[in-house]
Amino acid sequence: MERIVVIDAAGSEKRVAILDDGSLIELYIDRDDEERLVGNIYKGKVINVVHGLKAAFVNIGKEKNGFLPLSEIPYQQLVEDAEIEIESTRELAVKENQDIIIQVTKESYSVKGPRLTSYVSLPGRYVVLLVNSKHIGVSRKIRDRNRRQRLREVARKVRPPRMGLIVRTSAALAKPEEMEKEIKLLYEEWQEIKAKARGEGPLLLYQEPDLIIRMMRDLHPKDISAIYIDDESAYQRIGSYLKERARELYPKLKLYSGKRPIFEHFGIEAEITKALERKIWLKSGGYITIDETEALTAIDVNTGRFAQEKNPETLAYQTNLEAIKEIARQLRLRDIGGLVIIDLIDMSKRGHYLKIISELKKLLKRDRAHYKIGKLTNFGVLELTRERTRLNLSETLGETCPHCRGIGRVLSKRSILGAIERWLRGNRERLEGKTIEIRTSPRVADYIITSAFKKMRAVGEGMKVNIYITPDKGVGENEFRIFQLNPYRELTGG
């Protein structure tokens, strides 16, 4: 299997795609004007304690207070008189107005604020430093017993006093001195965080690196065949990082210089469009439908046009088996979290159901997110839960449709702006020196004019193109049309 990483870094919307044998399996998006909190460490202030929930609400300086379960506080952390005191207790009776050091584990979702923990950890490429724990763990993906034992012994020798370590998969190929060097850097980082915590809260103490650096940090070199990126400055920045922190990945980094936008070249844009559709066709002629609600995600498997197999049981089994492979891919690609209900085609043989569940477990082992598969009901419905740490793909790229009162979704204004930017970059040569008009729906045009005008003007100046924005009710909510002025003609083809 060939796994490649494709990075679209040229615009204000940074995107990272992971492909297995040309098939898109994961997609990550960061936008300059959107804040990401997961991984950040704050000095927060307890606003109130709800004993019924066994949790505290903590002000971290954001619009919504963070949610901190008492079970996520391993030690009492008090910040008083510019000193940080950490007392070993199993149960923390937090009080209002108390200062506490926390880390964000989940983004805000719907009406809920970010989820927090006091089990602070600092991730590196080879290890994760556990600040409040003496635990030593080794990644489950390292299966060789002798190697696991060796790594555990190395970790015990080099861990800082009263701290723990999780040895990551990439450490399997690392030298002990490389691990020790990284641990030293992480420990020094923690000392800097503690020094910052002497300031008045709420206060940001540590910010997770940007999307591209996070991906480089978390990639396992043995799995990756190549890394393609389309921006010269980002290429240089990543190259410097890899030479310092992940030398084995550096030879795999390649600068893409093709004329077509990088995601189009690798067929990723078409895959993203499919990932926003409700119905997904299978190669056999069957299909699955995915319906996302706030409470759960329902996935239905159907035979569709598949009529080659005359035996109903064989037909159902083959379709379910093909569907479960696509479902596992879609869960990762769409980053669907929470409760998931899978309505399989009815089968009479229990052995077939067991094979389907076994295949799903095998496929989900490749998933970064934690999951739990429930029991199969008498009606052939399979339940599972998947960890939710951020907005899923439809929430990231879409928003509630302004015309159907929330029944459906359309691409978000920010997503359409990103698509316009990419189209302009992909047509840079023929646009230079021209004046163009961009026509969008009134919803999108209003957003660009009022909230993104400086950004669009900067794009135009960088390309030596004069840009005018025109609201047009005749343009679809997910579309845009671009016209050249003098002479007047359409450039997008409708």
Task: Round to whole Å and give the CA distance between 74 and 9.
Answer: 39
What per-residue confidence (pLDDT) applies to 88? 37
Number of Cβ within 10 Å of residue 296's Cβ equals: 14
Helix (H/G/I), strand (E/B), else coil: 35: coil
What per-residue confidence (pLDDT) applies to 309? 60
Q: What b/e readout covers 457-480, taking b as 16+ CB neighbours within 10 angstroms?
A: eebbeebebebebeebeebebbbb
What per-residue confidence (pLDDT) applies to 321? 96
| Angle subtended by helix axes 453-463 and 413-426, to nearest 10 | 10
Backbone angles phi, psi at 184, to 5 degrees: -60, -45
What per-residue confidence (pLDDT) applies to 257? 92
Domain boundaries, the chain: 1-36+231-275, 41-119, 276-386, 401-490
- For domain 401-490, give the fold: Hypothetical Protein Ychn; Chain: A, (3.40.1260)
Q: Span 41-119: which CATH code?
A: 2.40.50.140
What per-residue confidence (pLDDT) applies to 222? 80
Pair 156, 163: CB distance under 8 Å: no
Strand partners, 88: 75
Low-confidence ranges of the chain (pLDDT < 50): 75-92, 494
Shared fold status for 276-386 and 401-490: no
| CATH architecture under which domain 276-386 falls | 3-Layer(aba) Sandwich (3.40)
What per-residue confidence (pLDDT) applies to 467? 94
What per-residue confidence (pLDDT) applies to 87? 39
What per-residue confidence (pLDDT) applies to 91? 42
